[in-house]
Structure 1
Amino acid sequence: MACGIRPYTRCEKWRFGCGQNWHLLLVLFYLICMVNGHIRYSIPEEMKKGSLVGNVAQDLGLDLKRLRSGRARIVTEESIQYTELKTDKGILVVNDRIDREQLCGDVTPCSFSFEVILENPMELYQITVEITDINDHSPTFKRNSIHFEISESANTGSRFPLTSAEDPDVGVNGLREYFLTENDNFVLKQNSNADGKKYAEMVLQKPLDRETNPHLSLKLIAVDGGSPQRSGTVNIDVTVLDINDNAPVFNQSVYKATVMENSPRDTYVTTVNASDADIGSNSIVTYYFSDLNSGLSDLFRIDEKTGVISITGSIDYEKDKKYELRIEGKDQGGLTDSSKVIIEVTDVNDNAPTISVMSFTSPVSEDSPPGTTIGIINVKDLDSSDNGQVNCRIEQNAPFKIKSNLRNYYTLVTDIVLDRESVSDYNITVVATDAGMPPLSTKRTFHLKVSDVNDNAPVFPRGVYSAFIPENNSPGVSVLTVRAKDPDENQNARISYILEDTNTGGSPVSEYVSINAESGVIHAVRSFDYEQIKQLVFIVKAQDGGSPPLSSNVTVKILIHDQNDNPPQVLYPVQTGGSLVAEMVPRSADVGYLVTKVVAVDVDSGQNAWLSYKLQKATDRALFEVGLQNGEIRTIRQVTDKDAVKQRLTVIVEDNGQPSRSATVIVNVAVADSFPEVLSEFTDFTQDKEYNDNLTFYLVLALAVVSFLFITCLVFIISVKIYRWRQSRILYHSQSPCDSILSTTLLRHFGDRDSPTRVQLRGVQDD
């Protein structure tokens, strides 16, 4: 070939069908030609550690100095490195035990590939090591014995599937054929599945006679084609049953089904069905798997009564793309029939691409020319078809680009000359996305450092900040915090927050709020009133400490929340002090008659302004009611002639705030059919009210006057008594004997004549 590569000759290694268009093969051939070389070795399995695989230096045409200077190493995605490169000798040796069966299972040919990478300049060589099989396993059966219950009426030619033997070896060392011990009734028939696996059936060639021979003991022997030849055996026990002459028959020889990988447990796969012409217990068919490969019993189960096959384990397309199950239906008489179920697995995009870093250089010099390699990554996806096709890109807009020169390898290079003074560092995010539906992706971020000048203004993470504060707040309370970020460093990134000088409602914004220059915390300068101002909008500037400084602005909105600080206001009926307003209700009014409507408003908002109306007091509660939501006053019964003309209602209006506020209104209602009757009644009502008010006033005034006169009289009487007592004492102490004689003479002269003088004198004498 022109590129020095020996291509594969098997179609499955190319992942294309052999019948596809030739231009796809040409594209693949072009991609393979980017690899510097490709060699292939073949070794048997189970070689000892250190065994020689091949001379890499000689086969690739490289000298040992180039291997050492290029730091030649093996790059593989496998967790186990089976080979080791001896750079001092240029040879490839076995590094770990290689078990072909563990590595590839029954896939042939079995091989693993890896790359040998060299640096300065970078070279990539692909090496494939094929592992050949040795006959190190014997055929084995999963069971020690097979038991059949066969009716003596079984027809000649009836088939009885036998369990298959498993031999992990492949090719000539794999399972070759089966042998059945000699007997008179059965012969062995060997068949092969579509995948080439052999299985055996026991065919009845001579009718059974339960009375002659009720039990048969046979042996099934499986041998491989290795040298020396290996074998395995299983016992076959046949119990002959009596009279069951119809075997179950499946309605299909092959059942086909499709399941999605990762389907949940108990997911339905398909249903098999076999019918038996017998009646009674001999017609009851039981279904079971006649033979399952290792591990399949953990993935599927069959309901023995209904024949429903469902999933019991995890189905992974990347492990197995198709399953083949053999189903056996057996009736109560022991007769059986078998069928095949082929289950195709549909791939689901359940594996995200993986990104492996081969090398990455950081920091990078600012004077590096465009195209400088800063990293090499390897990207792979375990899914197949479109689910495994990977596209690699750089997520953000950055002065870098990603190139793919080798299969699954990508190079991250600079796109322009980097400027240390412009950007100090870059976070380069590489995104690998597959073509599945929905697509899966993997990200890997590389941090590349450079340096700094003050060429970045502070940036707010949001264009507008919003905050809520209840009205009647305490001055000085913290409202919110604004934060700006500056990608610069040190003093250039030190941010000060400044309140822009704007007006709100004719006043500077500084009379409403203040801001901490260091922390960006905004405080309320005064208490807000929702009824006066509902929101405050202003601008905050963030300025860095560079020279010259750079700045940016952000709009801040503070929304005032309403509180229930205003009681309801009654608009109707209007309450007046001098005049009396009454609503008139005719005596012919029926139930539900609209008397009037109380109208109130609340200057608060939200639920603080939701009003409810209740009847607090009424002259006759059985006559009126008030609508809770609308404030309508209506009659709740038929008005009668016995109802009083004058009705007085007290309605309370409450808002829905916490705590609620209320207002009351008095509604006068006149129950009458004519206006003069209403006028006379409510005029008397007014005059009576004025008369009662005047009477109360005069009674209080009279009580005050009487009290004052009583106290005055009491004081006067006490004063007179005291005065008389003092005068009498003075006269008594100053009286002489002549006075006594004069007094006796005067008494005799005037006798008992009742006169004031006499009364006074007696008084003196007595004293």
Structure 2
Amino acid sequence: MAFKSSPLSCVKWRLNFRSVWPFLLFLGCLSHIVFGQIRYTIPEELKRGSLIGNVAQDLGLDVQRLRSGRARIVTRQSIQFTELKTDKGILVVNERIDREQLCGDVTPCSFSFEVILENPMELHRVTVEITDINDNSPTFRKEEMKFEISESATLGSRFLLASAEDADVGSNGLQKYILNTNDMFGLKQHSSPDGRKYAEMVLQKPLDRESEPKISLKLIAIDGGTPHRSGTVNIDITVLDVNDNPPVFNQSFYRAAVLENSLRGTYITTVNASDADIGSNGLVTYRFSNMKEQLADIFHLDESMGTITLAGHLDYEKEKKHEIMIEATDQGGLIDSSKVLIEIIDVNDNAPVINVMSFSSPVPEDSPSGTTVAIINVIDADSEQNGQISCATDSALPFKVKSTITNYYALITVSAFDRELEPEYNITVRASDSGTPSLSSTTVLRLRISDVNDNAPLFDENSYLAYITENNSPGMSIFSVSARDSDWNQNARISYFLEETQISGNPTSSYVSINAETGTIHAVRSFDYEQLKELTFLVRAQDGGSPPLSSNASVKIIIQDQNDNPPQVLYPVQTGGSLVAEMVPRSADVGYLVTKVVAVDVDSGQNAWLSYKLQKATDRALFEVGLQNGEIRTIRQVTDKDAVKQRLTVIVEDNGQPSRSATVVVNVAVADSFPEVLSEFTELTHDKEYNDNLTFYLVLALAVVSFLFITCLVVIISVKIYRWRQSRILYHSNLPVIPYYPPRYSDTLGTGTLPRVYNYEVCRTTDSRKSDCKFDRAGSQNVLIMDPSSTGTMQRIQSEKSILDEPDSPLEVSFSFSAL
């Protein structure tokens, strides 16, 4: 049968008011931990698997709660007698329970354990009481008892018989003794203060050694079980001759006390018995009677003096007192008995024992103050003041120990955690008793703090600056950004992303990309410094927490120029069909400014620094080119012997590494009048026309007659279109830069030559209206052009357009020669 008491309402019903109010006060303090208590009663020797009780029903819990709370049994016994079936919510026998082995003489016999559940924490105490069954027969320590009794023994003499021992208790224990029927002796039964039963044999008829020297009897010990069990011992009595005075103790009861930590040989007490006989019949000896086996090694009795000393080790926690029977025997075999009660005085010889019943590790760093970390059970085997326990921990740590029910303590937090500052704690819990001197014990709990994503990634710098040379290969690594996160594990795993912004109307991702793992930034395309000089965008570092945290850093990439553009010659314009010539009068003096080569380079820095050199010339001794400004001047006086036609090849180089260059051919006419110039250049055009006609007739000769008309038509149209395009080059040049043209050049050396006026017409780009430069409309601009299709006539082209009127028109350059 199982008796239960649960949950707390049952506990209140069973406890008196004085024991209930501290428990209720504790329950009010620990609202987040539930405690209950149930009690079952079962007989011993049940088979394994036998049902003890329905724990789930008795505690008011469902089976699902037992599973989710990881319900388990925590016991201090070395053998776990019970097992909790969480799938059914029942408590069953796990090991055979022998009440006599578990409790011995102690009654009632019970053992306790705790059922612990987690999430939330619940602690329930279960007590199982073991009832006795009649499974042990009374037994005598000796197989026979021998007495030597004088024939002169008086009627009513008592002879103490050895007691039987029955491991059972209560009604199943020893109840009575029976002496087989005889005329000489009767039986008288007694009970000691501790409930043990013993018997004395009483002489009822005088003995006669001559008629009956030996007497054999049987003593039967019977218990109260159903059915009865019994034990038997033989009593052999030898009748002695004439010793008619038995020993007599001076006290029927002796009391002594001894400290449990006393050393061996410590004096306890002395018993004394006297005999009225003299001689050998009056010589008294002492011995222990009916002593338990474990006491034989603890106490020593001097047979002749009756002195009791300590021979072994005492343990107050196991036995608080010992009751010993002592017999005094004379040489005639007469006996008297007395009792000695030895009380054990407790000393503080047991330190508290700490048992960690439940420990939660790791604990999240955002756990609130008051979170229960561990449940601790502390036991001290000492009693009274020596067994009163106090439990504490290091005050420097954010924890404290709070008492719950008897001998149980909760380790709770008193402040918030920060894993980044303190990732773990070594908590020393110290339990001390109140003895003198005080004994204590400690246990160390290693509590780890689990991470919470409470720190955003931080870049090493708020802004980054990097450089890359233009014309890079796509996919090239530019540089890397780096961020740190003081969190741990997944919360500290950083990924890098580009914040989508616009650069020159295009998304940032079309220019650069970033490796999400390493933070390395790569170029998506090849950059052109002339189109894009810098990139500015944001990089976001995001951790892997939930929800994720992030931070941004600005990145500026400056594109460096490379010498990838050759110089572009703006003047003189090179035409395919017409010859442009500069006129130099034969009266020109040294340093006369013939013309100026104008070139630009769209690169920047030293890559755009231009230098001018004269590569070839008809007469190198006549002209020179300014290294920095490209001005072509005479270096000697012009003479009549100088050829009219002068051809100069000028090379323009930039300062890049390696340098790039462009060449321009400048035709110069050395003459004082136009007819002279015309005659020279017309001869050149006639030669060219002759060669063209010869080629044309050769083609006609080889052509098929059937395609003659079509071929002629195609050739004529092609020639017309080609000449028309060549004539337009002078006015429309699609250059993407703003060239520089000096407004006027004149001979300023004071040589007395006639001044020449050079007019330049320049086109502007779309943004040139914002410039501070202003241009006046040219009234009349003239260029000397020799057209091979003409027969020696000179054409004059006049431009009346203003640069400011057509800001988006292509570059037009014209030159006017005028003689003042």
Contact 2:365 2:418 in 1 (8 A): yes
- Structure 1 residues 342, 26: closer, same or farther in 2, change over 3 A? farther
**CA distance in structure 1 between the partners assigned to 2:335 and 2:405 by the alignment:** 58
- Structure 1 residues 320, 32: closer, same or farther in 2, change over 3 A? farther
**CA distance in structure 1 between the partners assigned to 2:357 and 2:214 by the alignment:** 69
What number of residue pairs does the alignment pair up? Answer: 442
**CA distance in structure 2 between the partners assigned to 1:56 and 1:361 by the alignment:** 25
**In the alignment, what sits opposite 2:182?**
183
- Structure 1 residues 367, 451: closer, same or farther in 2, change over 3 A? closer
Q: Identify which range, 113-122 or 137-146, moves more after superposition.
A: 113-122
SS of 2:312's partner is coil
**CA distance in structure 2 between the partners assigned to 1:28 and 1:60 by the alignment:** 18
SS of 1:128's partner is strand
CA displacement at 1:173 relative to structure 2: 0.9
**Could you list the per-position Cα deviations for residues 670-718 of structure 1 after superposition, in whole angstroms to 9, with x for gaps in the alignment?**
xxxxxxxxxxxxxxxxxxxxxxxxxxxxxxxxxxxxxxxxxxxxxxxxx
**CA distance in structure 2 between the partners assigned to 1:413 and 1:7 by the alignment:** 27
**CA distance in structure 1 between the partners assigned to 2:58 and 2:71 by the alignment:** 15
**In the alignment, what sits opposite 1:437?**
436
- Structure 1 residues 352, 225: closer, same or farther in 2, change over 3 A? same
List aligned pairs for 1:81-100, cutoff 5 A: 81-100=80-99
- Structure 1 residues 43, 434: closer, same or farther in 2, change over 3 A? same
- Structure 1 residues 423, 383: closer, same or farther in 2, change over 3 A? same
**Could you list the per-position Cα deviations for residues 563-582 of structure 1 after superposition, in whole angstroms to 9, with x for gaps in the alignment?**
xxxxxxxxxxxxxxxxxxxx
SS of 1:278's partner is coil
Larger Rg: 2
**In the alignment, what sits opposite 2:236?**
237
Structure 2 stretches of 5 or more lacking a match? 1-5, 452-820
**Could you list the per-position Cα deviations for residues 544-593 of structure 1 after superposition, in whole angstroms to 9, with x for gaps in the alignment?**
xxxxxxxxxxxxxxxxxxxxxxxxxxxxxxxxxxxxxxxxxxxxxxxxxx
- Structure 1 residues 31, 179: closer, same or farther in 2, change over 3 A? farther
**In the alignment, what sits opposite 1:199?**
198
SS of 1:232's partner is strand
CA displacement at 1:6 relative to structure 2: 4.0
Contact 2:7 2:60 in 1 (8 A): no
Look up the equivalent residue of 1:154 and give its one-letter code.
A
Contact 1:396 1:428 in 2 (8 A): no
List aligned pairs for 1:305-344, cutoff 5 A: 305-344=304-343
Q: Identify which range, 362-371 or 150-159, moves more after superposition.
A: 362-371
SS of 2:195's partner is coil
**CA distance in structure 1 between the partners assigned to 2:27 and 2:199 by the alignment:** 45
List aligned pairs for 1:349-748, cutoff 5 A: 349-420=348-419, 422-423=421-422, 425-448=424-447
CA displacement at 1:299 relative to structure 2: 1.8
CA displacement at 1:217 relative to structure 2: 0.9
Asked if residue 150 in structure 1 is aligned to residue 149 in structure 2, the reply is yes
Look up the equivalent residue of 2:444 and give its one-letter code.
T
Asked if residue 172 in structure 1 is aligned to residue 171 in structure 2, the reply is yes
**In the alignment, what sits opposite 1:101?**
100
SS of 2:57's partner is helix
**Could you list the per-position Cα deviations for residues 479-527 of structure 1 after superposition, in whole angstroms to 9, with x for gaps in the alignment?**
xxxxxxxxxxxxxxxxxxxxxxxxxxxxxxxxxxxxxxxxxxxxxxxxx
- Structure 1 residues 54, 248: closer, same or farther in 2, change over 3 A? same
SS of 1:4's partner is helix
**CA distance in structure 1 between the partners assigned to 2:149 and 2:25 by the alignment:** 64
**In the alignment, what sits opposite 1:224?**
223
SS of 2:318's partner is coil
SS of 2:328's partner is strand
**In the alignment, what sits opposite 1:5?**
10
Scaled by the length of structure 1, the TM-score of the pair is: 0.55
CA displacement at 1:358 relative to structure 2: 2.5
Contact 1:429 1:446 in 2 (8 A): yes
**In the alignment, what sits opposite 1:79?**
78
**CA distance in structure 1 between the partners assigned to 2:118 and 2:184 by the alignment:** 73
**In the alignment, what sits opposite 1:38?**
37
Contact 2:363 2:449 in 1 (8 A): yes
**In the alignment, what sits opposite 2:287?**
288
**CA distance in structure 1 between the partners assigned to 2:192 and 2:225 by the alignment:** 21
CA displacement at 1:39 relative to structure 2: 1.9
Look up the equivalent residue of 1:5 and give its one-letter code.
C
CA displacement at 1:362 relative to structure 2: 4.1
**Could you list the per-position Cα deviations for residues 228-280 of structure 1 after superposition, in whole angstroms to 9, with x for gaps in the alignment?**
11111111111111111211110000000112223322222211000111111
Contact 1:47 1:97 in 2 (8 A): yes
**In the alignment, what sits opposite 1:128?**
127
- Structure 1 residues 426, 3: closer, same or farther in 2, change over 3 A? closer
CA displacement at 1:30 relative to structure 2: 5.7
**CA distance in structure 2 between the partners assigned to 1:32 and 1:126 by the alignment:** 15
**In the alignment, what sits opposite 2:733?**
none
CA displacement at 1:117 relative to structure 2: 1.2
Q: Identify which range, 394-403 or 345-354, moves more after superposition.
A: 394-403
**Could you list the per-position Cα deviations for residues 272-308 of structure 1 after superposition, in whole angstroms to 9, with x for gaps in the alignment?**
0001111111111010012112322222221111111
- Structure 1 residues 234, 80: closer, same or farther in 2, change over 3 A? same
Look up the equivalent residue of 2:231 and give its one-letter code.
G
**CA distance in structure 1 between the partners assigned to 2:64 and 2:424 by the alignment:** 38
SS of 1:306's partner is coil
Contact 1:396 1:429 in 2 (8 A): no
**CA distance in structure 2 between the partners assigned to 1:74 and 1:2 by the alignment:** 17
Asked if residue 140 in structure 1 is aligned to residue 145 in structure 2, the reply is no
**CA distance in structure 2 between the partners assigned to 1:280 and 1:178 by the alignment:** 36
Sequence identity, in percent?
Answer: 65
- Structure 1 residues 2, 46: closer, same or farther in 2, change over 3 A? closer
Asked if residue 119 in structure 1 is aligned to residue 124 in structure 2, the reply is no
CA displacement at 1:105 relative to structure 2: 0.9
- Structure 1 residues 358, 437: closer, same or farther in 2, change over 3 A? same
- Structure 1 residues 344, 31: closer, same or farther in 2, change over 3 A? farther
**CA distance in structure 1 between the partners assigned to 2:86 and 2:19 by the alignment:** 37
- Structure 1 residues 211, 200: closer, same or farther in 2, change over 3 A? same
- Structure 1 residues 166, 28: closer, same or farther in 2, change over 3 A? farther
**CA distance in structure 2 between the partners assigned to 1:105 and 1:54 by the alignment:** 25
- Structure 1 residues 87, 25: closer, same or farther in 2, change over 3 A? closer
**CA distance in structure 1 between the partners assigned to 2:399 and 2:317 by the alignment:** 35
**In the alignment, what sits opposite 2:499?**
none
**Could you list the per-position Cα deviations for residues 198-244 of structure 1 after superposition, in whole angstroms to 9, with x for gaps in the alignment?**
00011112221222211111111101111111111111111111111
**CA distance in structure 1 between the partners assigned to 2:448 and 2:116 by the alignment:** 27
SS of 1:339's partner is strand
Asked if residue 61 in structure 1 is aligned to residue 60 in structure 2, the reply is yes
- Structure 1 residues 100, 70: closer, same or farther in 2, change over 3 A? same
SS of 1:102's partner is helix
RMSD after superposition: 2.5
Contact 1:287 1:327 in 2 (8 A): yes
**CA distance in structure 2 between the partners assigned to 1:218 and 1:8 by the alignment:** 56
SS of 2:227's partner is coil
**CA distance in structure 2 between the partners assigned to 1:93 and 1:116 by the alignment:** 14
Look up the equivalent residue of 1:210 and give its one-letter code.
R
Contact 1:388 1:436 in 2 (8 A): yes
**CA distance in structure 1 between the partners assigned to 2:200 and 2:92 by the alignment:** 47
- Structure 1 residues 39, 25: closer, same or farther in 2, change over 3 A? closer
**CA distance in structure 2 between the partners assigned to 1:406 and 1:55 by the alignment:** 24
**CA distance in structure 1 between the partners assigned to 2:19 and 2:170 by the alignment:** 32
CA displacement at 1:342 relative to structure 2: 0.8
**CA distance in structure 2 between the partners assigned to 1:343 and 1:316 by the alignment:** 13
SS of 1:295's partner is helix
SS of 2:326's partner is strand
Look up the equivalent residue of 1:360 and give its one-letter code.
F
**CA distance in structure 1 between the partners assigned to 2:139 and 2:70 by the alignment:** 48
